[in-house]
Structure 1
Amino acid sequence: MDNVRIRLITEADSGELYQLIVDNRNNLEKWIEWIRDIHNEAEMHTYIQKIIHTERKEATITFVILLNEKVIGMADISDISSDGKIGEVGLWLSEEYQGKGIAGAVISEIEKYSKSKTKINTLKMLIKANNVNSLKMAHKLGYQEVEKLTSWKNGEVKWVVCAKKF
């Protein structure tokens, strides 16, 4: 998808991202904990400031997702290993853009960014076990299941870790 791209997040993105959260709150809260803490644009702005000023220390790179130059979601590479070679990718899209192949295009953009601007050569995805669409997308993009994380209560698989080395 030529009209999908990522760029590093800026404080100027707070208004558009806050509106996406308002429009998609019910869906996003199922998957992303910090969404529950954002109740107005000022809180979104503060959250972005924190991201920008702490991500180097916490080994995270955060992007906005653009479709035809319109912000439609967020993505990041987090938990970057101390040697800088392994990172965990995550993303969310406005509901109206899900199921259209955009997430796969975003992952491909993150892979390109990782190859050209970082030392990362392996990306991991932590996917909820019941998120069938995300698991299918990961497999389609060449990510392999490397681990299943289970509940300590009943042994039920809660998360699937998929990884791809490039």
Structure 2
Amino acid sequence: MWLPWIDTTTKIEHTKGFIQACLKGHAENKSLNTVILFNGEIVGVAGYNIINWSNKTAYIGYWIGEEFQGKGIMTKVAKALTEYAFSELSLDKVEIRAAVENNKSKSIPERLGFVKEGCIRQAEWLYDHYVDHSVYGMLSKDWKETS
């Protein structure tokens, strides 16, 4: 429902292309995407879709298999990515965006104490319509106070 690329990922070459793009982004120090392992099984992907070194900001993106939702896995992953951005990469801000109606995705930054900074209207074309995005941000100084 929230990931339109699933419908077009129909061949192994599509997944290989995604992996190659992730490796290229990491090699260029522009992104960092990782698989999520749960009980030895790959259950999703999470990481920094973009690292903006000029503004010291990382933009976290994530997805997880439906049968693994509601177990706290993604909250732990987003927390670890946020901590890593501040403690290891010395970034100043982490941002998470989610479709306004995607309550499961929005609950993650909310649970971690991110501040809802606003709404981007018609931020994404999803199947046959635009969806607005809620924008959540966490600053390094605020993370240190809450962690």
TM-score range, shorter chain: 0.7 to 0.9
Amino acid at match of 1:81: N
Residue equivalent to 2:90: 119
Q: TM-score, normalised by structure 1?
A: 0.70
Q: Which amino acid aligns with 1:105?
A: K
User: What are the equivalent positions in structure 2 for 1:144-155 lying under 5 Å apart?
Assistant: 144-151=115-122
Counterpart amino acid of 2:100?
A
Q: How does 1:2-151 map to 2 (within 5 A)?
A: 30-57=1-28, 59-83=30-54, 85-151=56-122
Distance 2:65 2:31 in 1: 22
1:160 aligns with 2:134: yes
SS in 2 for 1:100: coil
User: Runs of 5+ in structure 2 lacking a partner?
Assistant: 124-129, 141-147
The answer on whether the counterparts of 1:124 and 1:162 sit within 8 Å (CA) in structure 2 is yes
Q: What is the Cα deviation at residue 139 of structure 1?
A: 1.3
Is the strand fraction higher in 1 or 2?
A: 2
Aligned length: 134
* TM-score, normalised via structure 2 length: 0.79
1:34/1:120 CA distance change after superposition, 3 Å: farther
Q: How far 1:143 moved relative to its partner?
A: 0.6
d(CA) in 1 for partners of 2:9, 2:122: 28
Percent same amino acid at aligned positions?
Answer: 23
Return closer, same or farther for 1:82/1:70 CA change in 2, 3 Å cut-off.
same
Q: Which amino acid aligns with 2:137?
A: A
**Whose helix proportion is higher, 1 or 2?**
1
Whether the 8 Å CA contact 1:84–1:118 is kept in 2: the answer is no
Cα separation, 2, equivalents of 1:105 and 1:54: 24
Match of 2:127 in 1: none
Shift in Å, 1:114: 1.7
